[in-house]
Amino acid sequence: MLDAFQNYFRELAETHPKWNFIFFYDPVQAERVLSGLWMTIQLSVVCVILSVVIGVLGAWAQGSPFRPLRLAVQGYIQFFRNTPPLVQLLFFYFALGQFTPTYSPDGWLEVPIISNVGWAILSLSFFAGAFNVEIFRAGIDAVPDATKEVSEALGMNRGQTYRYVVLPLAFRVSLPALNNNLVNLVKTTTQAMVIAVPELLYQLVNIYNDYSTAQNASMVLMFVVYVVLVGILVMGMHKWEHAMRIPGYGRH
């Protein structure tokens, strides 16, 4: 079965050189694509989780009575929301990267503590986290004041009210907007290739640089993979949104 599959695409490349799906019959190129796909999935999952954590903590800090903390969160939001993610990636890696400590695993070569993958995770997570802060803040504002007052009347402090009452309700309201932002985040991971993160786009560009006839096939594969990845995320978010829906809440 596998031999027939490989032979089909090998013959297709011979008869139609512009459609050389070399990664379907060359094990070396297949390994490059799989490693790139795995890096893309890892990058997406870690950035999604970190950006949500940043959003929750930032939204909580925005409601703090401590004014310097609120100003710091506002500065963070304006910085990451008003600059392109590609510029942020380059700034983090080339500018801030110069100030990070290094270590020498073999006693000769100095290696920075934060790798290019680490900088990509930090940059993309902070970028999406800035939007998540505003999304969760809008969700918190949608929770009626009477609900907060009732929890305080029951003896809860601000942290308990936020954790047990406000955040669960705000999370449900925020899910549709959060869904859009996380989809954009997954698509933005392709920009990590500018700092040589070996994700899927980076590997496919290298493949068609080595085999020019594989350019069209590489772009088709990349398009299909991202449609599938984003489709899985959207379906998961929709199921989560449906499962957390409170009958009657937020509906008129």
Instruction: Please give the domain boundaries of the chain with CATH numbers for all domains.
Output: 26-103+111-244 (1.10.3720.10)
Q: What is the mean pLDDT of residues 10-37?
A: 93
Indicate the DSSP class of residue 165. Answer: I
Give the pLDDT score at 173.
Answer: 85
H or E stretch including 52?
Answer: helix 27-62
Chain segment 94-144, per-residue pLDDT in tens: 999 888 888 887 777 888 889 999 999 999 999 999 999 999 999 888 888
Nearest to 12 by CA among 205, 23, 1, 200: 23
Burial class (CB in 10 A: 0-12, 13-18, 19+), 154: exposed
Q: What is the mean pLDDT of residues 221-236?
A: 93
Residue 24 near residue 5, CB atoms below 8 Å: yes
Residue 190 near residue 37, CB atoms below 8 Å: no
Q: How confident is the model at residue 247 (pLDDT cuts 50, 70, 90)?
A: low
Q: For the whole model, what pTM was predicted?
A: 0.86
